[in-house]
Amino acid sequence: MRVLVTGGAGFIGSHTVVSLSEAGHEAVIVDNLTNAKRSVLGRIARIAAEEPEFIEADVRDLDAMEKVLQSGFDACIHFAALKAVGESVEKPLLYYDNNVGGTFALLEALTQAGVKTFVFSSSATVYGDPDPASLPLIESTPIGAATNPYGWTKIMMEQILRDAHVSDAEWSISILRYFNPVGAHPSGLIGEDPSGVPNNLMPYVAKVAAGELARVRVFGDDYPTPDGTGVRDFVHVVDIAEGHVRALERHAGEPGVFTYNLGTGQGHSVLEVIAAYEQQSERPIPYEIVDRRAGDVAANWADVSKAARELGWEAGRRLEDMCADSWRWQQNAR
């Protein structure tokens, strides 16, 4: 298939482009480079033996997207979105404009081009702050009570997609709710490279291990979890990328809305991640406990049995692999 990958120069997008290439598909990247670098294209080429076609554009620009789609596509995988929970609390209008507005414009352009196979990058944030008794989270767990604007954008975008299918049953839409993607490609050539100070845990830990930042800020140690720090389902980014390809191949052209959790089915605390990263990097990682961060939840992890059953997908990489690959990327990133 010829696949339009919005946000394809970013963290998860770039890994998915590699996985698409390895599976024999052609990926065309559209990215405005807000939180990505053009240099990733050459790194992808070193892994996949061919540099993907790249178009610098913003998905909110309807005219630009209509022009892009004139060259013909079979499907679209949509990653282009802002993703920092804390920043979304500080700048909610920016998040609603970029994430929801961008998805709306993209769907308009896809509709006009007749491209109706769509894979959407959603998030476990749609589940809000779950009752510990409800863990692990399954796809039928109620959504619609996000704890931050980023989560609300994902809820709104999911609803837009479901409504689009109601209005036009030809849409084939896969909604992938992944938990906490981390790690990097095992080659060390591509990984998460956020602009400025990282908002997510593992890239922050990596920079502390490398001596670029002084210490990890642990947001709260008074959560109702075994060690008091937040617990998340960390999943290797290559596993996530492979999940997108599985969903695309399984449901391409099949009318319906298909929703899957992508995770490992196991939670790890912030302190567990720090300890694992210390072991893999063989570097001390100092940390300090600070106040809880607005929008964070105590714990969440996934029930991934539906993805295993319907897509034949399971996360095969452990926390140790995530830390080792992240550290390899951190050492090679410059």
Record the tokens describing residue 121, joined without a space: 């990058």
pLDDT tens for residues 97-115?
999 999 999 999 999 999 9
Task: Please report the pLDDT score of residue 85 as a whole number.
Answer: 84
Between CA 175 and CA 80, with CA 258 as vertex, the angle to 5 degrees is 20
pLDDT tens for residues 215-245?
999 999 999 999 999 999 999 999 999 999 9
pLDDT tens for residues 150-202?
999 999 999 999 999 999 999 999 999 999 999 999 999 999 977 677 888 99
**Of 95, 150, 223, 260, which is the active-site residue?**
150
Sign of CA dihedral 306, 312, 318, 323: negative
pLDDT tens for residues 245-257?
999 999 999 999 9
Residue 333, pLDDT > 80, answer no
Count other C-beta atoms under 10 Å from residue 25's C-beta: 18
pLDDT tens for residues 278-297?
999 999 999 999 999 887 88
**Among 28-32, 36-40, 110-114, which is the least confidently predicted range?**
36-40
Start-end of H helices in 56-127? 62-69, 85-90, 92-95, 102-113
Helix or strand (DSSP H, E) at 302: none
Task: Please report the pLDDT score of residue 294 as a whole number.
Answer: 81
Sign of CA dihedral 319, 320, 325, 331: positive
> What is the distance between the alpha carbons of residues 119 and 78, in angstroms, rounded to a whole number?
6
- In percent, the amount of the chain with pLDDT more than 90 equals 88
Better-predicted residue by pLDDT, 50 or 278: 278
Let me know if 150 is a catalytic residue: yes
Count other C-beta atoms under 10 Å from residue 214's C-beta: 11
Task: Please report the pLDDT score of residue 334 as a whole number.
Answer: 57
pLDDT tens for residues 268-277?
999 999 999 9
Alpha-carbon distance values, 34 to 8, 26, 83, 232 (Å): 12, 24, 12, 26
Count other C-beta atoms under 10 Å from residue 112's C-beta: 13
Task: Please report the pLDDT score of residue 86 as a whole number.
Answer: 83
Question: What's the burial of 93, exposed, middle or buried (CB within 10 Å: 0-12/13-18/19+)?
Answer: exposed
Superfamily covering domain 2-185+234-265+301-317 = NAD(P)-binding Rossmann-like Domain (3.40.50.720)
With a CB cutoff of 8 Å and minimum separation 6, the contacts of 293 are: 85, 86, 219, 220
> What is the distance between the alpha carbons of residues 266 and 208, in angstroms, rounded to a whole number?
25
pLDDT tens for residues 113-158?
999 999 999 999 999 888 888 899 999 998 878 989 999 999 999 9
pTM as predicted: 0.95
Record the tokens describing residue 190, joined without a space: 């591509």
Mean pLDDT of the chain: 95
Residue 329, pLDDT > 60, answer yes
User: Whose CA is closest to 94, among 105, 81, 107, 103?
Assistant: 81
Q: Where are the domains of the chain?
A: 2-185+234-265+301-317
Task: Please report the pLDDT score of residue 84 as a whole number.
Answer: 85
